[in-house]
Chain A
């Protein structure tokens, strides 16, 4: 499911225009490599309660962290991410195993790292998905 979600994000030209496309895409799982080019984005499974709602719908929360030199750059990426993921409708992933029935922005926060002088924008999305 995570791979499908990331593949979906990678197909968006606006987002890849901001964080790179293909093998140069700066969208990293869990943690970015040292000295990664900025801005970059890190994704992780924030919470996976493992329960099934009605109709075999499962719920999972993803966390995205955007690191950028300016607050505006971080904000721009976050806004695009929100456009792609904050939908109360099915998300068009190309997966042989899952449907993402809905995805909702579940909050986030802005931080500033004094030592690295990086702006950190964290965003949470709750996804409802079913197996095919």
Chain B
């Protein structure tokens, strides 16, 4: 019996790969932009969760701590006997920051939310101490914002894909939205590329290290 054969070849392989690389780059930049925009929102949301209260009034255990408005305190210097005035209150609110970590090869795109040493007691409020019940303020605030962040990232990816499809009609390389999404979605769903995993940065670094160890 004589053999018969057929073949299919992707003639413009290099152009297709270059096109996909450009898509990934566009998506990466887009995700970074969205994360930066949401960083501002998360920062504001956390600040807003610290409800102002009169000085020396404490929030109930288990609820977010009160933000005490900055107020002036006078005290007499032990050495000179002079009355010294200084301002206290509002440190935690002022200390909340966000930062997009520098993009490294193989590392996830990461938005870091943190409180500076200005409020050295931020983690004590979050986790409590042996003498004080916790008043979680950090993780509840962030967890509340996660769905909108995820939605915004997905919307941006869709936008990039749509734009690509519009452009691709004029080019030799055709770009199929379904094909691109099939390439991108598993990365989002598996959280291999877009790290929407919530946790402390230490835990995330361990997780990344585990990934390399595999």
Contacts and interface: CB of A to CB of B under 8 A. Distances in A.
Contact of B62 (A44, A51, A105, A107): A44
Nearest to B147: A51
Interface string A106-132: 111101010010101010101000000
Q: Which 5 A-B pairs have the closest CB atoms?
A: A107-B200, A107-B203, A107-B199, A122-B127, A47-B140
Contacts of A67: 130
Contacts of A30: 61-62, 128, 133-134
Interface residues of B, number: 27
Contacts of B147: 51
A42 B128 CA distance: 9
9 contacts: A30-B128, A48-B140, A49-B146, A63-B139, A106-B199, A107-B204, A109-B200, A120-B127, A124-B199
A31 interface: yes
A30 B198 CA distance: 22
B62 A113 contact: no
A121 to B, nearest CB: 9
A109 B139 contact: no
Contacts of B183: none
Interface string A18-36: 0000000000001110000
A61 interface: yes
B75 interface: no
Interface of A is mostly: strand
Contacts of B143: 47, 49, 59, 61
Given A46-B139, A47-B143, A106-B200, 5 more contacts: A44-B128, A44-B134, A47-B136, A65-B134, A106-B203
B129 interface: yes
B132 to A, nearest CB: 8
Contacts of A31: 61, 128, 132-133
A84 interface: no
A32 B130 CA distance: 7
A45 interface: yes
Interface in B86-133: 123-124, 126-133
Among A30, A48, A49, the most chain B Cβ lie within 10 Å of the Cβ of A49
Given A105-B203, A107-B200, A46 B140 contact: yes
Given A49-B140, A109-B123, A124-B139, A116 B199 contact: no
B202 interface: yes
B139 A61 contact: yes
Interface string B180-197: 000000000000000001
A65 B128 contact: yes
Contacts of B124: 111
Nearest to B127: A122
A49 B140 CA distance: 7
